[in-house]
């Protein structure tokens, strides 16, 4: 299997090259870890949401992310790895998650901006994955994408409400946009000429578009939305290019991106420590669930 045609599906019991399997395990587990770690930046605002309505929306969103992580760990398990093994690797810092979740959430406007920009970028990345060549991954993505679209809308609606509020609220939104814009563009990964795995992943149908194509798509989708909101995107090079039929935009600071994925972002240590503490605190639940499952299995005999 040197390549797969669009529409061709590979299922768990089908023969597949070792490289295809290991690339999928890496990508799906990285994706699962991102969903789980991604609960932290917004989760920290659950106790401080400004109203019951905002708290209920945020709670639903954060719970969805837990669900996404669980679907994705299940998809990874169809490739012969174990969820507990993947979690151990995450906690040991041996597997990565999205760079974006290593930035702090400083105000409630960040909740809106994460929904609008970060979940918006996730949608651009994930919609094409609904046609990924690996069946369990593609099928998990269909439901995930429906939920991501709710996440994006709740973020946009929160920002629209704040932009119609006071000057202080508008300033909070602008400050959040200024902090999150560039890290969001980095979510698509390094430029194509510095992305060593892209070509093979595209040939295998694991990826359907390059990093730069998806980044362009995201910018083109987001600029008109920023105009509706009345926020300024912090890029002096952002301009409509009539000839190309899309927006020109500046390059993120890639040295920052490589520092963050290398473990030196503002919150990397905190995110991993929180995840490890949650895992340790949950040990008794896992033990109890296993004991219960064994007892039920025994009773069934
Ligand atoms: Fe998600
Ligand atoms: Fe989401």
State the DSSP code for 252: P
Contact 151, 62 (CB under 8 A): no
Indicate which ligand has the atom closest to the C-alpha of 42. Answer: 2
| Residue given tokens 């892209």 in the structure block | 198
- Position 196 pLDDT exceeds 90: no
pLDDT at 1: 62
pLDDT at 197: 81
pLDDT at 301: 59
176: left (phi over 0), alpha (psi -120 to 50) or beta: alpha
Ligand 2 centroid, distance to 195 Cα (angstroms): 25
Q: Which tokens is 163 given?
A: 């932009």
- Position 2 pLDDT exceeds 70: no
Ligand 2 centroid, distance to 219 Cα (angstroms): 18
Which residues are registered as beta bridge partners of 134?
10
Ligand 1 centroid, distance to 299 Cα (angstroms): 38
pTM for this one? Answer: 0.93
105-123 pLDDT, tens digit per residue, is 999 999 999 999 999 999 9
Q: Which residues fall within 8 angstroms of residue 118, CB to CB, at 6 or more apart? A: 100, 180, 184, 187
Distances in whole angstroms, Cα of residue 293 to Cα of each of 85, 145, 287: 20, 32, 10
- Position 5 pLDDT exceeds 70: no
Q: Which of 25, 19, 243, 218 is nearest to 118 (CA)?
A: 218
The residue count of the chain comes to 301
Ligand 1 centroid, distance to 167 Cα (angstroms): 32
Which residues are registered as beta bridge partners of 247?
240
Ligand 1 centroid, distance to 280 Cα (angstroms): 24
pLDDT at 195: 85
Ligand 2 centroid, distance to 147 Cα (angstroms): 7
Contact 255, 191 (CB under 8 A): no
Q: List, in order of start, the domains of the chain with CATH numbers.
A: 18-297 (1.20.1260.10)
Neighbours of 146 (CB within 10 A): 10
Mean pLDDT for 22-35 is: 96
Q: Which of 60, 58, 64 is nearest to 45 (CA)?
A: 58
Q: Does an H or E element contain 246, and which? A: strand 246-248
Report the chain's mean pLDDT, rounded to a whole number: 94
Q: 196-230 burial, b if ≥16 CB within 10 A, otherwise e?
A: eebeebeebbbbbbbbbebbbbbbeebbebbeebe
pLDDT at 7: 63
What whole-number distance in Å separates Cα of residue 111 and Cα of residue 119?
11
Ligand 2 centroid, distance to 124 Cα (angstroms): 12
Indicate which ligand has the atom closest to the C-alpha of 67. Answer: 1
pLDDT band of residue 198 (cuts 50, 70, 90) is: confident
32-71 pLDDT, tens digit per residue, is 999 999 999 999 999 999 999 999 999 999 999 999 999 9
Ligand 1 centroid, distance to 32 Cα (angstroms): 9
Contact 100, 37 (CB under 8 A): no
């Amino acid at each position: 299997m040197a390549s797969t045609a669009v529409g061709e599906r590979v299922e768990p019991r089908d023969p597949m090259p070792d490289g295809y399997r290991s690339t999928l395990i890496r990508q799906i587990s990285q994706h699962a870890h991102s969903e789980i770690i991604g609960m932290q930046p917004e989760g920290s605002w659950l106790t401080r949401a400004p109203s019951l309505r905002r708290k209920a929306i945020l709670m639903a969103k954060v719970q969805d992310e837990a669900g996404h992580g669980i679907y994705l760990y299940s998809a990874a398990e169809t490739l012969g790895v174990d969820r507990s093994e993947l979690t151990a690797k995450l906690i040991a810092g041996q597997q990565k998650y999205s760079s974006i979740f290593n930035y702090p959430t400083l105000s409630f406007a960040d909740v809106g901006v994460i929904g609008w920009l970060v979940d918006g970028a996730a949608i651009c990345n994930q919609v094409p994955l609904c046609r990924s060549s690996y069946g369990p991954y593609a099928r998990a993505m269909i439901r995930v994408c429906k939920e991501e679209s709710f996440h994006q809308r709740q973020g946009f609606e929160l920002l629209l409400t704040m932009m119609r509020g006071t000057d202080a609220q508008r300033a909070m939104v602008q400050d959040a946009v200024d902090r999150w814009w560039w890290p969001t563009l980095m979510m698509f990964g390094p430029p194509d000429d510095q992305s060593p795995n892209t070509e093979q992943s595209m040939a295998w149908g694991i990826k359907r578009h390059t990093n730069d194509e998806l980044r362009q798509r995201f910018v083109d989708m987001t600029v008109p939305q920023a105009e509706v909101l009345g926020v300024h995107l912090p890029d002096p090079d952002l301009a409509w290019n009539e000839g190309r039929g899309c927006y020109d935009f500046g390059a993120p600071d890639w040295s920052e991106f490589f520092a963050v994925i290398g473990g030196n972002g503002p919150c990397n240590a905190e995110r991993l420590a929180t995840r490890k503490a949650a895992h340790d605190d949950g040990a008794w639940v896992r033990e109890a669930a296993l004991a219960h499952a064994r007892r039920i299995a025994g009773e069934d005999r």
